[in-house]
Amino acid sequence: MISPTTAGLILAGILFTLGLISMLIRRNIIFMLVSVEIMLNAAGLAFIVAASKWGQPEGQVMFMFILAMAAAEVSVGLALILQLYHQLKTLDSDEASRMRG
Partner 1 sequence: MEWMYLVPALPFLGALLLILFSGKTGKAGVIAIGCGSIGIAALITIIAGWQFLQSDIPAYDQHLWEWLRVGDFSIGMNLRLDALSLAFTFVITFVGCLIHIYSTGYMADDPDFARFFACMNLFVGSMLMLVLADNLLLMYLGWEGVGLCSYLLIGFWYKDPENGAAARKAFIVTRVGDTAMAIALFLLVQHTGSLQLSVVLERVQTLWNTGDPTVVWIAFLLLGGAVGKSAQLPLQTWLPDAMAGPTPVSALIHAATMVTAGVYLIARTNIIFSLAPAAQAAVAITGAVTLLLAGCSAWVQTDIKRVLAYSTISQIGYMFLALGVGAWSAAVFHFVTHAFFKALLFLGAGAVIHALHHEQDMFKMGGLRKSLPGVFLVFLIGSLSLAAIPFISSGWYSKDQIIWLAGVTERGSSWYAWAAVLGAFITAAYTTRMMLLVFFGREQTHVHHKPGPEMMIPLYILAICSTLAGFLELPHTLGHFAWLSEFLAPVLPAPAVLHADVAAEWGLQAITAGLAALAIYLSWRLINAPFPKEAGAFLRSGWGFDAAYDVLFVQPFVRVARLNRKDIVDKIYTGLAAITRTFHRMMSSTQSGILRWYVLGVVMGAVLILSVIIWRHSL
Could you give phi then psi for residue 92, rounded to 5 degrees?
-75, 120
23 in contact with partner 1 (CB under 8 A): yes
Residue 33-72 contact track with partner 1, rule CB under 8 A, x = bound? ----------------------------------------
84 in contact with partner 1 (CB under 8 A): no
Q: Show the CA angle centred on residue 57, arms to residues 52 and 63, nearest 5°.
A: 85
91 in contact with partner 1 (CB under 8 A): no
96 in contact with partner 1 (CB under 8 A): yes
Tell which residue, 42, 44, 54, 34, has the closest CA to residue 15: 42
Smallest distance from partner 1 to CB 57, Å: 27
Contact 12, 78 (CB under 8 A): no
Contact 32, 93 (CB under 8 A): yes
Number of residues lying near partner 1 (CB under 8 A): 15
The site for partner 1 (CB under 8 A) is made up of 20, 23-25, 27, 29, 32, 93-94, 96-101
